[in-house]
Structure 1
Amino acid sequence: MAEMNSYSFVDFPEDIQFYILSLLTPTEIGNFACTSRRFSRLCQNGSKLWYAICDRRWGSKTQIKKWGNGKISYKLLYKTLKKWENLIGFWRRCGQSQQKQTAGVKSAALIFFEWGPSFLSGYRLSPSSKGTYDVTKTPFLWMGISPEGKTVNFLDPDGHSNGLSGESGSLEMDWIPVNVNFIGDIHFSVEENVGLAYSRSSGAPTSKGEYGGDASNGLESGSPGSSPETLEMYQYYANRMSPGADRSWRRQKKREKEKQGRKKWETEHFLKIVDSSPSPARPLQGLWKGISDDMKLEFYLVAYDGVGIFCRRVGDLCEQISSPTPAFWTTNPAFIESPFSPEEEYLYNSRIHLQPPMTSKDINWQYPPMDNEVVSRIMYINSRYDLFIPGLAGISENPWCIEGRIWQYKNGTFGFGFLRDNSIVDLKPIAQDGFLLETMELCCD
């Protein structure tokens, strides 16, 4: 009987060794490096080992080689991306916003983070004002790494920017440099980096600071020995030689004056929406959107609190409740399975489904009627959520006013309504598989 060939780790090619090591955690790699000098040198090869680790974990989501213009160590990149990875997904503002609202841009209560090619992007999400299911998406926060290995965060106060341009990334000058402070895994704050804001405004009034220049490391802009006056003169003549740059230069000066005269950005806090999607055990939980009885799109958060299920508008979660909201809380999260009684059939079939107004889009059935949705299960609602908020007056204790139903459809979505009404608020998911649905950019002049 022939003996089976045995192989040790050192017999594999180096690329295979790095691939195997990339499957380990940093702690396990550190322990492996202590086994021999040869393996220690192998584990210290950051350009290959830590690149393999980063690429394996985030390579399908972002372009690993473009972070920091490809000039930073991949071990540092791993530490940063691992810290920022938790930001991906939905967050809600905690407390009322102290910021001044600009034309066309609301201080949205809902924030969504996603991966960019070489940065992390945070967007404000708000319901479309057109009464459709569209979600308005505006730039909010940009997070990257400079070629020197320093984290750089910029906030877009007005949502006017189109983000970054070019592979190296260029930043809008009216963006505000900020610090992002993590408080555990489900809480972070955004506060203005006053020192960096001052150094940027004292340098050349460029409309876009190149990534890795004055916007990358928190130091004053310009090369050593260059005074702000010299830089401003150079920038003036450089812009004058560019086609149409005279108008651009005037806009830059105007924006610079406006920025110098603005108030400091007030610190804001955000909490993570951990369960933003349904699960087999909790099919109703998550973020949803639906047309309310005033024919406006609203965002709803449905969560299981251990006692029952509650549903609240997202905007109400960070504001003091001053009036009743069409949301529910039920202490009996049990479904009634089909077949249903004739009374339940009539209760559902006699109601109208709140939908966007008919437009030319409906010709293409972008928003098909939901009246024909097949109900798979029914849940009883035994209370409105706002009845449990102290200080609300004028709420009737009539059970007819607080009792309702949740109708779950076979496609996984659901609608809810109260017995006192003749309508159903049908809810649709805001995102699916990590991607936003039916988004639209905010048009700003």
Structure 2
Amino acid sequence: MANNGVGASSLSFSDFPEDVQICILSFLTPSDISSFACTSKRFKSLCRNGSSNRLWYAICDRRWGSKTQIRKWGDGKIDFDLLFKTLSEYENLIGFWRISGGISGGIFGDAPLVFFEWGVSCVVGSRISPCNDGSYKVNKSPFIWLKLSADGQQLSYMKTNLFGEDSIQVNVSFMGKCHIVLEESNYNWVYSNSNSNSNSPKSGSPSKNGNGNNYIDNAMVVGSPDSDIGSPPDRMMSEMYQHFANRTSPGASGERAWRRQRRREKERQARRKWEPQHLVKIVNSSPSPSRPLQGLWKGICDDTSLDFYLVAYDDIGGVTCRRVGDSLKPFSGYAPVFWTSNATFINSPLSHEEDYLYHTRMHLRPTDVVEDDYIEYSPSRLMYINSSYDLVIPDLVETSSNPRHVEGRVWQYDNGTFGFGYLRNNFIVDLKHIARDGRVLDTTEFGSG
């Protein structure tokens, strides 16, 4: 600050050290940075693209640095501006997806849910299914990995079965923000866990996720995405070329390699290509202060099996609860477990009648929980609900000869969870969280490769 009182001096953006400039610019959007780069040659150089560019690395690190290791994507050779575009697309994958129109026993097994999360240098998709051992545990089985090659090409690998080591390349098509399609790639890729020849092109080296699980990364490319080698004429020409090339190679190693390639080709042709699989994103998978019942939940049923429940609020104040697994059953209609057109709670203290109604019911709990160790939460408030019996003719609810068959309650506990039950029986199904803070709870991981 000048002391002569005539004027004051101020620093311009150019006067700041480059580290400070990069830190400030990392808060901007790509369009803002593009406009800023047009202001001068120096700033254009500061905003340049490339794997060594500090600004685009800072932008990626600020947004995703706490979730994944930015410098390990694409073996650390990818341009960071391209990495930003890819991670922005992958970010929408993170969270829960519901399998739409699936068939039990397919590539998803009996899992009704798929959960995508950040890995060290990839996005990992896992099947999520109930353990059905009488507990609240869920199976979490990683089965698909979305990575980047060193040149920025998106690579997606999926296990061909639940416990197998072989993987195939798949295409992940984004049909908007809430709908993706998984389909087998048309390109002829061969995957192997063994050490391959150093001259063979690779997509990267094996990496690990936060749990230390190895991923299948080594791949020898027989057909490249930029060609149509998967079509019969080109494949025939490729085979002829490979055949004569191997015949001219010294020793019997060329002939053995030719036979191995033919065997792999026959196995690939013999394996039936699976139909494209559709996934729908569960946008509101967690509760909010204004919608405390919203999201994905799990609860023990009266047959001691574990079920997944999805509770959704509509635009007119109603609440609907459905079993997630029902959407996989043919002709199930995805019928709701309970519903209400009025999501208004009745707060404590409850009336004597409602208090008696709650305390005379038995909580469905895991079979391995000892009676004395079970913590029963007192309800803080309740909500009136109806079962799906009266959805066809809702106007007949009050005129029904036996309203106990349709009327029920939701009891919310002090810890934020809740339970529901009907007047027609003496059970309360207590619902627990499937995930919290972006992590699936009570998992039993297997088949991670």
TM-score, L = length of structure 1: 0.80
> Number of paired residues?
399
Show the counterpart of 1:420: 424
**Is 2:90 the counterpart of 1:84?**
yes
Tell me, yes or no, if the aligned pair for 2:169 and 2:189 is still in contact at 8 Å: no
The alpha-carbon deviation at position 157 of structure 1 amounts to 3.0
**Is 2:269 the counterpart of 1:264?**
no
Map 1:113-192 to 2 at 5 A. Answer: 113-160=116-163, 172=165, 174-192=166-184
Q: Equivalent residue of 2:92, what SS?
A: helix
Show the counterpart of 1:288: 297
2:298 and 2:254 map into 1 onto residues whose CA distance is 48
Map 1:194-205 to 2 at 5 A. Answer: 194=186, 196=187, 199-201=188-190
Tell me, yes or no, if the aligned pair for 1:334 and 1:379 is still in contact at 8 Å: yes
The alpha-carbon deviation at position 326 of structure 1 amounts to 7.6
1:268 and 1:36 map into 2 onto residues whose CA distance is 49
1:151 and 1:387 map into 2 onto residues whose CA distance is 49
1:320 and 1:331 map into 2 onto residues whose CA distance is 27
Show the counterpart of 2:410: 406
Q: Equivalent residue of 1:108, what SS?
A: coil
The alpha-carbon deviation at position 259 of structure 1 amounts to 5.0
| Per-residue CA distance 1:347-372 (angstroms, 9 max, x = gap) | 1101110011126xx59x9xx414x3
Tell me, yes or no, if the aligned pair for 1:324 and 1:386 is still in contact at 8 Å: no
Show the counterpart of 2:323: 313
Map 1:14-25 to 2 at 5 A. Answer: 14-25=18-29
| Per-residue CA distance 1:92-130 (angstroms, 9 max, x = gap) | 011133x7548xx72422110000000000001000121
Tell me, yes or no, if the aligned pair for 1:206 and 1:235 is still in contact at 8 Å: no
Moved more, 5-14 or 284-293: 5-14
Q: Equivalent residue of 1:142, what SS?
A: strand
Which segments of 5 or more consecutive residues in structure 2 lack a partner in the other structure?
Answer: 197-201, 205-218, 230-239, 394-399
| Per-residue CA distance 1:159-183 (angstroms, 9 max, x = gap) | 326xxxxxxxxxx5x2121111101
Q: Structure 1's 431 and 183: CA in aligned 2 closer, same or farther, altered over 3 A?
A: same
Show the counterpart of 2:80: 74
**Is 2:111 the counterpart of 1:108?**
yes
Map 1:58-73 to 2 at 5 A. Answer: 58-73=64-79
1:88 and 1:405 map into 2 onto residues whose CA distance is 33
2:119 and 2:161 map into 1 onto residues whose CA distance is 20
The alpha-carbon deviation at position 214 of structure 1 amounts to 2.6
1:30 and 1:6 map into 2 onto residues whose CA distance is 26
Q: Structure 1's 399 and 157: CA in aligned 2 closer, same or farther, altered over 3 A?
A: farther
Q: Structure 1's 116 and 253: CA in aligned 2 closer, same or farther, altered over 3 A?
A: farther
| Per-residue CA distance 1:47-76 (angstroms, 9 max, x = gap) | 211111111110110000000101110111
The alpha-carbon deviation at position 317 of structure 1 amounts to 2.9
CA RMSD of aligned residues (A): 3.4
Tell me, yes or no, if the aligned pair for 2:327 and 2:333 is still in contact at 8 Å: no
The alpha-carbon deviation at position 321 of structure 1 amounts to 4.7
2:289 and 2:438 map into 1 onto residues whose CA distance is 17
Show the counterpart of 1:297: 306
Bigger CA radius of gyration:
2
Tell me, yes or no, if the aligned pair for 2:131 and 2:306 is still in contact at 8 Å: yes
Map 1:286-435 to 2 at 5 A. Answer: 286-307=295-316, 308-322=318-332, 327-358=337-368, 368-370=373-375, 372-381=376-385, 383-385=386-388, 387-388=390-391, 398-435=402-439
**Is 2:272 the counterpart of 1:276?**
no
1:59 and 1:117 map into 2 onto residues whose CA distance is 10
Q: Equivalent residue of 1:61, what SS?
A: coil
2:262 and 2:445 map into 1 onto residues whose CA distance is 27
| Per-residue CA distance 1:11-56 (angstroms, 9 max, x = gap) | 1111211111111000000111111222112211542111111111
Which segments of 5 or more consecutive residues in structure 1 lack a partner in the other structure?
Answer: 162-171, 239-249, 391-395
**Is 2:37 the counterpart of 1:33?**
yes
Calculate percent identity across the aligned residue pairs: 51
Moved more, 152-161 or 290-299: 152-161
1:322 and 1:287 map into 2 onto residues whose CA distance is 20
Q: Structure 1's 272 and 236: CA in aligned 2 closer, same or farther, altered over 3 A?
A: farther
AA of the residue aligned to 1:200: W
| Per-residue CA distance 1:312-352 (angstroms, 9 max, x = gap) | 00011343454997810111111111111111111110111
Tell me, yes or no, if the aligned pair for 2:168 and 2:189 is still in contact at 8 Å: no
| Per-residue CA distance 1:242-291 (angstroms, 9 max, x = gap) | xxxxxxxx9x9999876542210210111110000000000000000000
